[in-house]
Each structure stands twice: as structure tokens, then as C-alpha cells.
Amino acid sequence: MDELKERILRDGQVLEGNILKVDAFLNHQVDSGLMKRVGEEFARRFARLKPDKILTAEISGIAPALQTGVALDVPVVFARKMRPITMPKDAFERHVPSRTKGGETLLLVSPEYLHPKERVVIIDDFLATGQTLNALANIVVEARAQVLAFGVVVEKTFEHGREALEDWNVPLESLVVIERMSSKKIVFR
Amino acid sequence: MDELKERILRDGQVLEGNILKVDAFLNHQVDSGLMKRVGEEFARRFARLKPDKILTAEISGIAPALQTGVALDVPVVFARKMRPITMPKDAFERHVPSRTKGGETLLLVSPEYLHPKERVVIIDDFLATGQTLNALANIVVEARAQVLAFGVVVEKTFEHGREALEDWNVPLESLVVIERMSSKKIVFR
């Protein structure tokens, strides 16, 4: 997606620890027009799979997942990272290490909104090591629903998330793929 | 907004502590079609104000704010509640008490994405006591930007948020207004 590449080159910033800061259009400020086109692009790639639902993780997955849900006219579930008092005790949960915040992140999905046999596409902002997507996919399986595909806005190949998700044997679509990056240069595939 | 009233009557659940659980379509699962129409309705009410930007608070404000941003074609900034490593040290910050999670919530907005003189509409999912909206408005003022209006999906009048925001002297638009609620009944204005 050329528009996204140009935007990353213009506004992205590479920070220590292989963090790509895209707070200008995705993670803190959201460019709503760009995000609409991101959702439409995911919808174009996933429509043939006929998903019933999009699953993502709060917080930064919400914008691209919601726009995909709007484009495909299906509901979007975002896994919560803190247990709200509205969450039932039998929620599906997984722990994943968090790099941008440090420590571990909890992912919680209520069985009220993820049902057996539902056809689920999992979307997130970044694919780095793949641990968040893997945890979300495990939640889908625990709900006896079906993982149809993964979609990420930005894939960083040098963190090997794609390999980590290979065993799921489902399509993995990235809107842009970064092969190398440093504070001076970002190299797309 | 009649569709929203009907949805609250069908899927909303009143929990202890005056919590209205709307996880089925807003706070955990998002009905993307409904949220699109929520955004369009806010856009219809706020277009004449010619906002430059929508400001909201993560997490549950993101969906309605983003759809409003899409409908008005303006960027959306969501205040962060945890300090990501990408957040500069001079971020605007406010503390607000959190009822659904307990304790205090921090709201952080980077000065990179909120500039002097920008015309800002503040949107959130609920208006209860008004403390979150008030904190966001104070951040806008600290950035020397302008608070144009507030928009909330659900106003609960019995928690007096409208009175708490009166001094801002700007329009406050609610898509639905709840006057009373109990586990048995929800009464709209």
C-alpha cells in the first residue's frame, strides 16, 4: 500500500529497541482517511473468506480493525488488556510479553462475543514477534471458533513473526513490509 | 438516535454502581454499522463548527471518535492512559478517577498532535460525572487550542455531567439520554 509507505517515510520514527513510532497517524493520532483506506484494503483481501467477525487487541488494533469491520459490515471484537467490571469471570485469557510498555500484557475476550464456529479474521497494527496474534488465535480456538486469516498494517520481517505464525496455516496479509530499519533509513520489501 | 435506544434496550445491561454494560456493541464488541451511523450523526451535528480535530480518550472513545473523524475527514487523537515509550516527556497530562476500573486514570496527549489554535471537538462513549471530558478539555486549553463542543454517545443525566461541563459554555450533544435506570428498566428522556 504505497500511501502507507509514503506516510511511514514521512512521519515514522525509528526508536531504540526496533520500535517504529507511528503515533502521527496510527498509535496516538489517527489519520481517519488513511485508516478508512486501510480498512478497505483489508476488506478487499479478506472478503472472499466471508468472515463473521474481526478480532483485534486494544488499543492500537482498534482503528484498523474497526475500519475493516465497517468495510466488510461485520462486528469487531477487541480483546481487553485490563479486566473491566463488566467482564465475566469465564473470559478467555492469554498473557503476552509487551515491549512498548514493558512487562506482560493480559488479553481478555468474553465468551459472550466469540462463539463456536464463527469465522474470524484477526487484525493488528504491527507484526513483530507474532506473540499477540498468536495469543488472539489461541483464544479463537479456545472459543471453538475458526481462524481464517491474519492481517497486519505493518510487518517487520526481522522479528520473524511470520515464521512464528506459520503453523496456523492461514493467509497472513501485511499492508507494508519492512525488511530493515534504523534511525536513518527504513527499507521496505 | 432511535437505533441506539433500541440497541440499548435489547443488549444493554444495568450493573451495580450505575454501570450500563454495552459490551455487546460499543465497549468490547463493536457493531461497526451502528458505529458508522453514530459517527455520521456526530458529523451532522458538528460539521458547522468546522473542527480541525477530534479528541477522545482510549479505549472506548476510539470507535465513535474515529467514525466521526472519518465522516468529517479530520484526524482523531486519542489520549493514552498508559505512557508508551514513544510518548515525549512534556506530554499534557491529567488524572481522573475511574469507576469501571477503580483507582485513578491518567490521560496523556502529546503536544506533537495538539497545536495552538486548533479547533477541537471532544467525543466519548459515556457522559456520567463529566470528569473525563473535563480533563480532556483542560488538556485542549493547556495546548492553547480551542474546545468547540462535546459529543457523547450515551448521557446519564442522574450523574450530572452536563452541569459539571456547563462552565465550558460550548454545545454538548448526546445521541441518547438516560434519565433513570435499574436492572429492570431503562428510561430515556
Break chain B into its structural domains and give their ranges: 2-188
What's the pLDDT score for residue B97? 86
Which H or E element spans position B93? strand B92-97
Find all residues with CB under 8 Å of A53, minimum gap 6, and list them: A74, A75, A76, A77, A114, A118, A119, A120, A121, A145
What's the pLDDT score for residue B85? 87
Say if residue B157's pLDDT is above 90.
Answer: yes
Say if residue B174's pLDDT is above 90.
Answer: yes
Q: Tens digits of per-residue pLDDT, B68-95?
A: 999 999 999 999 998 988 999 999 999 9
CB < 8 Å from A in window 44-103 of B = 58-59, 62-63, 66-67, 69-70, 73-78, 80, 82, 84-87, 100-101
Quote the CA–CA distance of B141 and B137 in Å, as a whole number. Answer: 6
What's the pLDDT score for residue A17? 86
Assigned architecture for domain A2-188: 3-Layer(aba) Sandwich (3.40)
Residue A73, SS3 per DSSP:
coil
Cβ atoms of B115 and A29 within 8 Å: the answer is no
Q: Tens digits of per-residue pLDDT, B6-23?
A: 999 999 999 988 899 999
Least confident range of A101-105, A109-113, B30-34? A101-105
Mean pLDDT across chain A, nearest whole number?
A: 96
Q: Tens digits of per-residue pLDDT, A45-91?
A: 999 999 999 999 999 999 999 999 999 999 999 999 989 889 999 99
Quote the CA–CA distance of A93 and A90 in Å, as a whole number. Answer: 9
Cβ atoms of B169 and B148 within 8 Å: the answer is no
ipTM: 0.95
Cell 463548527 found at: B49
State the CB neighbour count (10 A cutoff) for residue A16. 7
Q: Which of A42, A70, A126 to mutate to test the interface with B (most CBs of B within 10 A)?
A: A70
Quote the CA–CA distance of A67 and B77 in Å, as a whole number. Answer: 16
Quote the CA–CA distance of A27 and A63 in Å, as a whole number. Answer: 9
Q: Tens digits of per-residue pLDDT, A10-28?
A: 999 999 888 999 999 999 9
Helix locations, A12-130, DSSP H? 32-46, 62-72
Say if residue A118's pLDDT is above 90.
Answer: yes
Cβ atoms of B161 and B128 within 8 Å: the answer is yes
Residue of B nearest to A76 (CA): B30
A28: nearest CB among B21, B27, B110 = B110
Is A23 an 8 Å CB contact of chain B? yes
Q: Tens digits of per-residue pLDDT, A80-90?
A: 998 988 999 99
* Of the candidates B157, B159, B158, B118, the residue with the CA atom closest to the CA atom of residue B140: B118
Mean pLDDT across chain B, nearest whole number?
A: 96
Cβ atoms of B103 and B131 within 8 Å: the answer is no
